[in-house]
Chains A and B, each alone.
Chain A
Amino acid sequence: MDRAAPRRFDGGGPRAFLHRLGHGDEVAHVLTLTFAAGILLLTSGLVYELWVNSHLSRAKFGWLFFWTRTWDPIFDNFGAAPFIYGTLVTSIVSLVIAVPLGLAAAIFLSELAPRRMSDTISFLIDLLAAVPSVIYGLLGIFIVVPLMRTTVGPILIGSLGHVPVLGKFFKGPNYGVGFLTAGVVLAIMVVPFIISVSREVLLTVPREQREAALALGATRWEATWKVVVPWARTGILGSVFLALARALGETMAVTMVIGNDPKIAASLFAPGYTIAAVIANEFTEATGDLYLSALIELGLVLFLMTFILNGLARLLIVATERGGGHPS
């Protein structure tokens, strides 16, 4: 037996490469890799374009851009403060409404509803997430705005308007359009996200956790609220961040109901403006280079806000799925 000296073969090396090339594997690999790398290129291109095209505005206003409250295309003086304020306020209002509602619905679907019912309702709620935002805007204009002007607004002003501290958010003229209306419409839009992610997270909580609490004499609600929800809290927080990122970037529905007035007002009934809405409204009309550049810088700000929130949401959801979410 002529035994050759042991050789190494590791599936690599130029020879193997040539073989695989012959069978098209390397071609397929390189081809798909190119397309995958295309996504990297595209995303970096997006950041690059936002950065470069906002150069004029960044050079002129610097950090002041974030604090300036005027938005004056005629005298080329641009500040982002009213839009950042409007974006944050509408998003916070939407979360104040959507988080309790969404969490409650998610608890019902994961803890109480029979599996079939839970799946059916979740399916319908997922459909709600698929409704285009312009349709929410349409309903916002023709249902929510009149309702806010004639019914909900006067009731809130009449009741909460007299409460100290809280009252100043519920005072002033009520046009129907404004921060609160935009927040309500946004809440309807983000609630499906909170429900479906939270439900998934709640369903991963081990049965034993529930049973342990029930065996100690806890009521169903106590077992849910004091054991199951805390176990899943990181993931639920992740769903909230996801919803917030979506609310910040939402354009059409908000544009249609917020009133489009770049003012900073404490009253939630006052008309306002958001970053996305001002881009949508003024981009095609932006005549000067600086004007356009300022709008693109607003886009950059919006991109960064959602980028950070999506990153955090992703981390939180991954952490829950991996570690059961329980603080260890």
Chain B
Amino acid sequence: MGATTHGNNATAARLAPQVVMSDKTSQASDKDALVRFEISDLNFYYGAKQAVFGLNLKIPKNRVTALIGPSGCGKSTFLRTLNRMNETIRNTRVVGQILLDGQDILQMDVVGLRRRVGMVFQRPNPFPKSIYENVAYGLRINGFQGRLDDLVEHSLRRAALWEEAKDYLHKSAFALSGGQQQRLCIARALAVDPEVLLLDEPCSALDPVTTAKIEELMFHLKDSCTMAIVTHNMQQAARASDFTAFMLDGKLIEHSETSKLFTTPTDPRTEAYITGRFG
């Protein structure tokens, strides 16, 4: 794949997935992509209520994996087990194994894990600080020594926000529009250079133009980052992901290359969902 550029040409981005698909197959089959996350027999409980059932999934490196399914199917819950954000909720319990590059994340130091696995939330949640301080936050708390300015600029560029924000770096983040705030949150997550970026319905509160910008961004980030995105928007999954996993009632029903899942699903329930018969 090409070198990291910070193109902001939306049309190119929207065409890009197909182009890249063919590009990738020429190099190596997507099936052979290196595995970043390997999830085995994962069960998750809110108190006595089980939300995820015996889930097995591999999330390949430098690809976008989309998680789709009707609301309440456990896709967000599952995503939040990958950086152990669910532990912030009382009375929750994980049974199973999640390997990140072969290491068990449940054995890891949670702070270190979250530095490697960043997250972007459904609603933009900038801190009540300046734009600059928002991006620098992760660096500061992780004891980064070095030129903050450069890294802040670099992160904002990666999140395609630099041009819009460079003159307002020390203004409150709340002055930004919703879409800009969400890109700021992405920049904030990118600043600590995570290996994986989890996106929990990042566009559900945004308009179509901003959504397109964020999908374009994801495409460019693929070079350096593995992504998993939860979305209720099937077009988005189809446009922006390489692999798609369909979940229903806490179970993984089907998982394959996006092109395959949306054209020739093997499970009748997947077919029913993607053709809009429920959910």
Contact = CB atoms under 8 A, between A and B. Distances in A.
Asked if A and B form a direct contact in the complex, defined as CB atoms under 8 angstroms apart, the reply is yes
A3 B97 CA distance: 8
Contact of A4 (B40, B43, B87, B110): B40
Contacts of B92: 10-11
A19 interface: yes
A3 B111 contact: no
Given A3-B97, A8-B95, A22 B109 contact: yes
A6 B87 contact: no
B242 to A, nearest CB: 21
A7 B97 contact: yes
A8 B94 CA distance: 6
B93 A1 contact: no
Interface string B20-57: 00000000000000000010110100000000000000
Interface string B93-111: 1111100000010110111
Nearest to B40: A3
B87 A11 contact: yes
Nearest to B111: A23
Contact of A9 (B40, B41, B95, B111): B95
Chain B binding surface, main DSSP class:
strand
Contacts of A11: 87, 92-93
Contacts of B38: 1
Contact of A1 (B40, B87, B106, B109): B40
B142 to A, nearest CB: 12
B111 A6 contact: no
A8 B41 contact: no
A7 B95 contact: yes
A59 to B, nearest CB: 49
B109 A9 contact: no
A6 B95 contact: yes
Given A1-B38, A1-B40, A7 B106 contact: yes
A8 B93 CA distance: 8
Nearest to A8: B95
Contacts of B110: 19
Contacts of A1: 38, 40
A1 to B, nearest CB: 7
A4 B43 CA distance: 14
B106 A3 contact: no
A6 B96 CA distance: 5
Interface string A1-42: 101101111110001000100110000000000000000000
B208 to A, nearest CB: 38
A9 B105 CA distance: 11
Contact of B93 (A10, A19, A22, A23): A10
Contacts of B97: 3-4, 6-7
Nearest to B45: A10
A15 B110 CA distance: 11
A21 to B, nearest CB: 11
Interface in A39-59: none
A3 to B, nearest CB: 5
B154 to A, nearest CB: 27
Interface in B80-130: 87, 92-97, 104, 106-107, 109-111
Nearest to B92: A11
A264 B14 CA distance: 91
B38 to A, nearest CB: 7
A6 B45 CA distance: 14
Contacts of B111: 19, 23
Contacts of A9: 93-95, 106
Contacts of A22: 109
Interface string A165-202: 00000000000000000000000000000000000000
A1 B43 CA distance: 18
Contacts of A15: 107
Nearest to A5: B97
Contacts of A3: 40-41, 97
A10 B92 CA distance: 7
A26 to B, nearest CB: 13
A15 B97 CA distance: 17
B80 to A, nearest CB: 13
30 contacts: A1-B38, A3-B40, A3-B41, A3-B97, A4-B40, A4-B97, A4-B104, A6-B41, A6-B43, A6-B97, A7-B95, A7-B96, A7-B97, A7-B106, A8-B93, A8-B94, A9-B93, A9-B94, A9-B95, A9-B106, A10-B92, A10-B93, A11-B87, A11-B92, A11-B93, A15-B107, A19-B109, A19-B110, A22-B109, A23-B111
* Smallest CB-CB A-B distances: 6 pairs: A11-B87, A9-B106, A10-B93, A9-B94, A3-B40, A4-B97
Given A6-B95, A6-B96, A19-B109, 8 more contacts: A1-B38, A3-B97, A4-B104, A8-B93, A8-B94, A9-B93, A11-B87, A19-B110
